[in-house]
Structure 1
Amino acid sequence: MKNDSSQGIQVISRAASILREVVSNPDGMSLGQLAIATGLARSTVQRIVNALELEFLVQAGTGGVRPGWGLRRLGDLSGPSIASELRPNLFRLFEATGETVDLSTLASAEVLFLDRFLSEQGVRVIPDVGVHYPAYTMATGKALLAGLDNDQIWAMYGKGTLERLTPKTISTVDMLIAQLDEIRAGSFAYDIEEHALGSCAIGLPVGISGGIQLAVSVVIPTERYLEQRQAIERALRISASDFARRLD
């Protein structure tokens, strides 16, 4: 019978093998592919992926299991990454707002978080681990979708109604495109309790690096949104210029 120490070592070894595969395939791997690549049972892979996601070391969704922003923050990805290069810029936005901020890109129809600073305030917005929201319900998602043309949006979401996560979620592609047109014209991207009640966000696209679209957003509890909105928007404008200079 294995003792607790050997069992712990085995779990770490298995987690490390999964992380190596995920890092080597950053576009995403299914649980089945990870099971084959590591020689582990799919149920074992599922349990370990769930644990790694709790620590933000991976991000699992319809596009498969990808490196999480926590792993990127630790610098475990091979070679320099745009997330690490832009981390000082993101931190300046965090300092200016005191709220949760994130740097993201788009992976299929999902938002892929590259880096994040969590608010240290008593009442704050913390991301839900294991919950994946459609890009059109999030400020950073809308900022990223604005970089696509309308034909791509129609192809992505079809011509029917959109799934509503809250009573405030936009419900049609026409409504989404109207918002994207405003963002393309220079407006902010907004999520006013569209992905979750009690949570709001404001975002902006900040540029393209190596063909990868990037956006930032500030996430804030609804109770502070109206009071802080103008200050956050000012900080976001300064941050967007900051990012643009870095990406030039």
Structure 2
Amino acid sequence: MAGTQSVDRTTALVALVVRAEQPLTYSDLVAATGLPRSTVSRLLGALEVGGLLERDGDGAYRGGRLFADYAARFDRVEALVRVAHTHLEDLASETGETVNLAVARGSHVVHVDQVDARFVIGSVSWVDLEVPNHCSALGKVMLAWGVVRPPTGRLERRTPFTVATHAALQEDLAETLERGYALTRGELEEGLDGIAVPVRGTDGSVVAALGVSGPTFRIGDRRPAIAESLRTHAAAVTADLARRARRA
């Protein structure tokens, strides 16, 4: 019960500061909560250490760096989607297949934008759908370029073609780096192939993966040509991000 009370008090302090129109002083917070001064001081100290609150030049409290980091991360994703979407549309028009953009969120690779194939077969929405990284071309890009850590423990085997051992996965990722793009051949779903390339930010780091997926019978021998189109559009997204950054 005491632990719950402490959490409630801490949450109330954060909410007061974040919702305030201007930074709040220590005295403001004591008066607003009715808590003992020693309790408010202890909780504020813990919140400062955790990055949830910080003090301005006058010593008043405002939202801390964690809020700024969180907002900046999602602002970056939204900006990336806005910049990249036209290129996803162009790729879908060129290939006729489903095109996806994915980013890393922690250890997961999450689809954040999609343009559907012009065919009924192969048109599945992957946005916000999490799949094992080692089964996905987009996930393999993030693994190969070190954006997310390799999986631990037993690898989930979705189909008979899934890369099922860590040794085989490392070999696959080494080949991915060598050729510059990732491949899956029926590893997530039988009959579904994927090709993906890294998208770099203005500092040269990999910020996303851009991929095309479709039925094996349509992808087939088109893999090298699709990979080349993906590389061209990934480079164009990077150039557009740089132009946006210069304007900003």
User: What is the aligned partner in structure 2 of residue 237 from structure 1?
Assistant: 231
2:83 matches 1:85: yes
Structure 1 gap segments, 5+ residues each: 1-71
User: What is the aligned partner in structure 2 of residue 140 from structure 1?
Assistant: 138
1:112 deviation in Å? 0.9
1:102 deviation in Å? 0.6
- Give 3-state SS (helix, strand or coil) of 1:115's partner: strand
Fraction of identical pairs, as percent: 27
- Give 3-state SS (helix, strand or coil) of 2:155's partner: coil
2:240 matches 1:246: yes
User: What is the aligned partner in structure 1 of residue 10 from structure 2?
Assistant: none
**Closer, same or farther in 2 for the Cα pair 1:172/1:129, shift >3 Å?**
same
Structure 2 gap segments, 5+ residues each: 1-73, 243-248
Q: Which moved more, 1:85-94 or 1:130-139?
A: 130-139
RMSD value over aligned CA atoms?
2.9
TM-score calculated relative to the size of structure 1? 0.59
User: What is the aligned partner in structure 2 of residue 49 from structure 1?
Assistant: none
Query: For the Cα contact (< 8 Å) 2:195–2:213, is it kept in 1?
Result: yes
Q: Which moved more, 1:203-212 or 1:113-122?
A: 203-212
CA distance in 1, matches of 2:200, 2:161: 28
Query: For the Cα contact (< 8 Å) 1:147–1:213, is it kept in 2?
Result: no
Query: For the Cα contact (< 8 Å) 1:125–1:221, is it kept in 2?
Result: no
CA distance in 2, matches of 1:131, 1:79: 16
- Give 3-state SS (helix, strand or coil) of 1:132's partner: coil
2:223 matches 1:225: no
**Closer, same or farther in 2 for the Cα pair 1:209/1:138, shift >3 Å?**
farther
Larger Rg: 2
CA distance in 2, matches of 1:242, 1:98: 20
CA distance in 1, matches of 2:194, 2:176: 14
- Structure 1 outlier segments of 4+, above 3 Å: 77-80, 127-132, 208-212
CA distance in 2, matches of 1:97, 1:90: 10
- Give 3-state SS (helix, strand or coil) of 1:216's partner: strand
Query: For the Cα contact (< 8 Å) 2:183–2:194, is it kept in 1?
Result: yes
Query: For the Cα contact (< 8 Å) 1:143–1:183, is it kept in 2?
Result: yes
CA distance in 2, matches of 1:79, 1:148: 19
**Closer, same or farther in 2 for the Cα pair 1:207/1:234, shift >3 Å?**
same
TM-score calculated relative to the size of structure 2? 0.59
**How many residues get paired?**
168
2:174 matches 1:181: yes
**Closer, same or farther in 2 for the Cα pair 1:183/1:208, shift >3 Å?**
farther
CA distance in 1, matches of 2:96, 2:77: 30
Query: For the Cα contact (< 8 Å) 1:82–1:209, is it kept in 2?
Result: no
Deviations 1:179-217 (A, max 9, x none): 222333343201111111121110001113687720100
